[in-house]
Amino acid sequence: MDRSQKAAAIAEIAEDLRDAEAVFAVDYRGISVPQAADVRTRLRAADARFRVVKNTLTERAADEVGAESLKELLEGPTALTFVKGDVAVAAKAISTFNRETELLSFKGGILNGEALAPEQLQAIARLPSRDVLYGQLVGVVASPITGVVRGLNALISGLAIALSQVQEKKESGEIPSGAAPAPAPAAESAGGDEPPAPETPDQDAEPPVPAASPEEPAEGSETTTDTEQADASA
């Protein structure tokens, strides 16, 4: 590779670094050409690009864009994954390939200019995709609205059932048509007249004399026979 070709390669890598939201550095030792093609196919869903480049050219490109933390990862055979789309999907593709083949282990990376350790990349690989996260966010935001709608529907449904029951009772004669509704109990009605208080007996008044039993004469009274009544009449 002559000087002009190196300059073109450095410019291309620098452009990829500027455009990428995240960059993964992986150890590509042992990977075959068909396997590399398989990795590139898996990364298309995340709008990511897998490239094997010389470390010296990548170091010069990193100097141009100020990616100093990436230069620390350029030891030994290193391939780069430039991610423009879903970072979680791209990390999951690399992690799944590594689990299946024991190739392409994470060396580290950068995300929005911040350095990432291999453990952090593995954690990102376990995250849901961006579409799934958006769906969960929409569900959380919409849940209070759904609760209000359900509550209103329940109230409307309950009112309709109550009115239907009243109509059925009117048609069956249980409630006369046009009859006034029965007054609510005094204890439950608000603002209604209170029931009259029970009369309190006058303590100064004399107690009533109990009436004499028809079989027994009252004490102190005299009984008269029919003969005596007849003599008195004569």
- Return the amino acid letter for 61: A
What does the buried/exposed string (b/e) look like for 27-57 if buried means 16 or more CB atoms within 10 Å of the residue's CB? bbeebeeebbebbeebbeebebbbeebeeeb
Q: Can you give the residue ranges of every domain in the chain?
A: 7-131
Assess contact for 75 and 10: CB atoms under 8 A. no
Cβ within 8 Å of residue 128, ≥6 positions away? 88, 136
Predicted model pTM = 0.56
Each residue's pLDDT tens digit, 50-108: 999 899 999 999 999 999 999 999 999 999 999 999 999 999 999 999 999 999 999 99
CATH of 7-131, one of 3.50.4.10, 3.30.70.1730, 3.40.50.300, 3.40.50.2300: 3.30.70.1730
Q: What is the mean pLDDT of residues 149-159?
A: 61
Q: What is the mean pLDDT of residues 163-175?
A: 67
Percentage of the chain with pLDDT > 90? 49
Each residue's pLDDT tens digit, 102-146: 999 999 999 988 999 999 999 999 987 665 655 555 554 445 555
DSSP per residue, 30-89 = T--HHHHHHHHHHHGGGTEEEEE--HHHHHHHHHHHT-HHHHTT-SSSEEEEEESS-HHH
Q: What angle do CA 147, 151, 154 make, to 5 degrees?
A: 140
pLDDT at 163 over 90: no
